[in-house]
């Protein structure tokens, strides 16, 4: 999808996935002329527009975009699949939501973590970005980073494997 505000299909998909994974009843996002309303109530009409409702629990989603935006007919490019086998003795850190994976807080900055680095449970290990909203991801476990499975700037799905950590004993 492309609008005058550079809204991409994967941005909208990311917001839908984020909403579905949340406990929110409704979500309203407006970027310039683009407006998205998500609701768990199939009868919700949104903020002043009956055509923008999207019923989150249903299998089929309907999304109405403003005239300045067009929906792409093909799915967004998916990243290269990574192994889903978690090596024995390691803990997998997974993506909390769909978005773009970033190893550093900004371009040119050092990565949050490197392979072989000892980390604490509260250590930020990466960022996941959806529509310019950057969510830091904490390790959640104390230990040593053993493998980074995703390339910087790569799109990740919800629950995708990001890193393997060897927990401290």
CATH number for the domain that contains residue 152: 2.40.50.100
Tokens encoding 26: 């409704």
Structural domain contains residue 99: yes
The Cα–Cα gap between 110 and 126 comes to 11
State which H helix or E strand residue 17 sits in: helix 9-21
Domain boundary among 73, 106, 123: 73
Residue 139, in any domain of the structure: yes
Helices (H), 22-156: none
Q: Does the residue 78 lie in any domain?
A: no
Question: Is residue 79 a part of any domain in this protein?
Answer: no
pLDDT for 159 equals: 87
86-109 pLDDT, tens digit per residue, is 889 999 999 988 999 999 999 999
Higher pLDDT, 27 or 58: 27
pLDDT in tens, 122-137: 999 999 998 888 999 9
User: What's the token pair of residue 43?
Assistant: 């009868």
Task: Assess if residue 141 is contained within a domain.
Answer: yes
Maximum distance among all alpha carbons in the chain? 57
Is residue 66 located within the same domain as residue 103? no
Indicate whether 81 belongs to any domain: no
**Are 9 and 49 members of one domain?**
yes
Domain boundary among 10, 40, 73: 73
Q: What is the pLDDT of residue 85?
A: 81
What's the pLDDT at 84?
A: 64
71-74 CB contacts, 8 Å cutoff, 24+ apart: 71/1, 71/9, 72/1, 72/2, 72/9
Residue 20 has pLDDT above 80, yes or no: no
pLDDT at 153 > cutoff 50 = yes
Structural domain boundaries, residue 57: 1-73
Whether 138 is in a domain gets the answer yes
Kindly state whether residues 50 and 97 are assigned to the same domain: no
Q: Are 113 and 123 in contact (CB under 8 A)?
A: yes
Pairwise CA distance, residues 158 & 91, whole Å: 17
Considering the chain, what is the average pLDDT of its residues?
A: 75
Q: Which of 99, 112, 78 is nearest to 159 (CA)?
A: 99
| pLDDT for 57 beyond 60 | no
Strand partners, 147: 164
Domain count, the chain: 2
How would residue 47 be classed by pLDDT, with cut points 50, 70 and 90? low
Asked whether residue 84 is assigned to any structural domain, the reply reads: no
Tokens, residue 53: 């409702």
* Lowest pLDDT segment from 21-30, 37-46, 50-59: 50-59
Q: pLDDT confidence of 144, banded at 50, 70, 90?
A: very high
Q: How far apart are CA 7 and CA 90, in angstroms?
A: 38
């Amino acid at each position: 999808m492309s609008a005058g505000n550079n809204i991409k299909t994967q941005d909208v998909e990311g917001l839908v996935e984020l909403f579905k994974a949340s406990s929110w009843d409704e979500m309203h996002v407006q970027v310039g002329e683009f407006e998205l309303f998500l609701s768990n109530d199939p009868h919700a009409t949104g903020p002043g527009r009956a055509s923008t409702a999207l019923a989150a629990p249903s299998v089929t989603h309907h999304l109405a975009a403003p005239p300045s935006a067009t929906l792409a007919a093909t799915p967004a490019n998916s990243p290269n699949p990574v192994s889903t086998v978690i090596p024995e003795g390691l803990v997998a850190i997974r993506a909390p939501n769909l978005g773009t994976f970033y190893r550093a807080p900004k371009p040119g900055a050092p990565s949050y973590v490197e392979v072989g680095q000892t980390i604490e449970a509260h250590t930020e290990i990466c960022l996941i970005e959806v529509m310019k909203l950057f969510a830091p991801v904490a390790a959640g476990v104390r230990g040593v980073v053993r493998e980074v499975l995703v390339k910087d700037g790569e799109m990740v799905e919800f629950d995708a494997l990001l890193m393997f950590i060897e927990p401290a004993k």
